[in-house]
Structure 1
């Protein structure tokens, strides 16, 4: 497994960025639905300036889906004279701006050329907020005040390239769990029936089943049910239906069957050659076969024929991510604000959360918390 160093743009791109980087002198905050075709075209041009913006979380389709399901996405359109030089999609909740999509958004930043000069205190005032709170900042950070960063989290991806078979061989060599999965998979086929995988399943009922399985998993593991708010489930459906034949970004549902029984499923977002691995789940009664890992391996095996060259697992240090990937990067969390009180309160909450995670009895505590208050932490999705 390799740890990626901060990305450096090639000289040719840096020259282009230097020519187009600008001093923002005007900001217009509009509803996302009011973004006109010329602005959407400009969005795509600015998106191409940084490789980190390749993730589907910077796609127009993702924000279209969030807007269709919530209806409260705003976007700060930044200009120099009459030329659009940047965008910031956000929700205004109270006096705080949050990344559009809340904690479903696994990668965010201001969309603009690297090196564009941005006065954050002025921008926040134009957006009528006191802070911009981020939890997975990617790409250039030179425009962000250094006191805004409160920590970094590892993010994982599988750089499959053009030879998925070779990637899988390397992964099996490095991780015994992946190597031994073949024994479990063969046993599953013998005992339950022949295995088959459908990489791009368009069955909306199976999407609902996948969400139900994931919600049950959250309850079993005493984790906040991310699909408790209606808008989160609607966003999944919006992405699965897609936004037109020409839209390269959409929800991708993959299912593994043993005989006629669906034993595992994964729902993610795919755009061009990148699959964001979002919500893996399985039928708990077949957990002895590790069907989730079996499905992951089948997705990798078929990556070449489906044009998938990278599987992005996103941030968060769940053990399965280390076993299924070969590259580690980092994302930043923190807040941009002129309010010392807000920054300190946020730091106190982070410290308290960190202490609880280290507590020996955190398992029983989590169970008690979920029994008393099953929606604890739901404000992250509001």
Structure 2
């Protein structure tokens, strides 16, 4: 097995085709976060973004995107933003994790949404977590018919709220692939306000993330498209979602709504409308991403498993990085796994958010 290292923007058309072929041949690698277009987007804004290409008998058969620091610390490309991570390869290809790290010049590689099938990384997984998904099937009927058939428990309440907002604000309409960049800015503004209101780190306060989302919004390829979906009441935007999609998978990424209309449950309306529309546009799976949220329990049809951990070679830098990052991850996971800890933590963050937004 030969391994060559490239910047994402250096990949030739033939290498990108080989990467797409590997995605097509294995359903577990069909996620848009595993596409070369996502790695290229990250590479525009984060230095040290690389792709290791695995060659067998002169043919490119595997692709491993990662970020590398000057000290040889590696992380999954887009760590903290990506909801799916893996070495994408064609079926039947075998590889060794330590040999891969050595070829990449990495002493350690950190991941938090690793595809479960990545067995060479298996010994380095410190925990696995549920990642809810929605299996969607093409439907010929109307949205209300689809909703009643797919989510009978939610249909009555949701349709009632949609009728109410139609009377109070304006007729409800949904655009699956909105191309107005102004609406993308509205979504980011809503999401920033939500982050601050709930005491979370405001991702859109970071210019590189804003730039990345702007860039991905403009990508229109068969294996990767940035999809902005918007729910309107009359001419007023009510809720919006932006996420990448591959040929068959739509990733739920950034969803937000007009906080003045929260009593209509616009976020839930947004997710339901998006799933129904995605089925009419060739999507077979909506990936809701790792995390315990009530709406995910309502919407999911099943769960995938993703792993987090640190693949490492014997090296002082690897030891130091694991000692620094490991306890932080362990504390976060402990809090998230126990409602008695998670609920007070959420209340504390919301109190902090209230104080922050009131200033």
**TM-score normalized with structure 1 length:** 0.82
SS of residue matched to 1:315? coil
- Tell me if the contact between 1:99 and 1:133 (Cα under 8 Å) persists in the aligned partners: yes
Cα 1:180/1:277, change in 2 over 3 Å: same
CA offset at residue 340 of structure 1? 5.0
The reply to whether residue 134 of structure 1 matches residue 117 of structure 2 is no
CA offset at residue 331 of structure 1? 0.7
CA offset at residue 367 of structure 1? 5.2
**Could you tell me which of 176, 194, 198 is aligned with 1:221?**
198
Q: Aligned runs of 1:237-316 on 2, under 5 Å?
A: 237-243=214-220, 246-316=221-291
CA offset at residue 103 of structure 1? 1.6
What is the distance in 1 between the residues matched to 2:218 and 2:8?
A: 20
Cα 1:151/1:167, change in 2 over 3 Å: farther
SS of residue matched to 1:201? coil
The range that moved more, 229-238 or 365-374, is 365-374
- Tell me if the contact between 2:132 and 2:302 (Cα under 8 Å) persists in the aligned partners: yes
SS of residue matched to 1:103? coil
Cα 1:214/1:258, change in 2 over 3 Å: same
**Could you tell me which of 160, 177, 184 is aligned with 1:183?**
160
CA offset at residue 342 of structure 1? 4.2
What is the distance in 2 between the residues matched to 1:145 and 1:102?
A: 18
What is the distance in 1 between the residues matched to 2:356 and 2:198?
A: 15
- Tell me if the contact between 2:32 and 2:223 (Cα under 8 Å) persists in the aligned partners: no
- Tell me if the contact between 2:166 and 2:172 (Cα under 8 Å) persists in the aligned partners: yes
The reply to whether residue 362 of structure 1 matches residue 345 of structure 2 is yes
Q: Aligned runs of 1:1-382 on 2, under 5 Å?
A: 24=1, 26-70=2-46, 72-80=48-56, 82-93=58-69, 94-146=71-123, 148-163=124-139, 168-173=147-152, 175-176=153-154, 178-243=155-220, 246-338=221-313, 339-340=318-319, 342-357=321-336, 358=338, 359=341, 361-363=344-346, 365-366=348-349
Structure 1 portions without partners, runs of 5+: 1-23, 375-382
What is the distance in 2 between the residues matched to 1:229 and 1:284?
A: 22
What is the distance in 2 between the residues matched to 1:309 and 1:325?
A: 13
- Tell me if the contact between 2:39 and 2:77 (Cα under 8 Å) persists in the aligned partners: yes
SS of residue matched to 1:216? helix
- Tell me if the contact between 1:337 and 1:343 (Cα under 8 Å) persists in the aligned partners: no
What is the distance in 2 between the residues matched to 1:372 and 1:247?
A: 45
**TM-score normalized with structure 2 length:** 0.87
- Tell me if the contact between 1:157 and 1:310 (Cα under 8 Å) persists in the aligned partners: yes
Q: How many residues align?
A: 345
CA offset at residue 251 of structure 1? 0.9
- Tell me if the contact between 1:164 and 1:300 (Cα under 8 Å) persists in the aligned partners: no
- Per-residue deviation, residues 321-354 of structure 1 (Å, max 9, x unmatched): 1112211111111111134554454432222223
Cα 1:218/1:279, change in 2 over 3 Å: same
- Tell me if the contact between 2:34 and 2:85 (Cα under 8 Å) persists in the aligned partners: yes
- Tell me if the contact between 1:164 and 1:304 (Cα under 8 Å) persists in the aligned partners: no
What is the distance in 2 between the residues matched to 1:365 and 1:260?
A: 37
CA offset at residue 114 of structure 1? 4.5
SS of residue matched to 2:214? helix
Cα 1:336/1:167, change in 2 over 3 Å: farther
SS of residue matched to 1:275? strand
What is the distance in 1 between the residues matched to 2:249 and 2:350?
A: 36
CA offset at residue 300 of structure 1? 3.6
Cα 1:104/1:164, change in 2 over 3 Å: farther
What is the distance in 2 between the residues matched to 1:329 and 1:164?
A: 28
CA offset at residue 115 of structure 1? 4.5
CA offset at residue 201 of structure 1? 0.7
Cα 1:355/1:302, change in 2 over 3 Å: closer
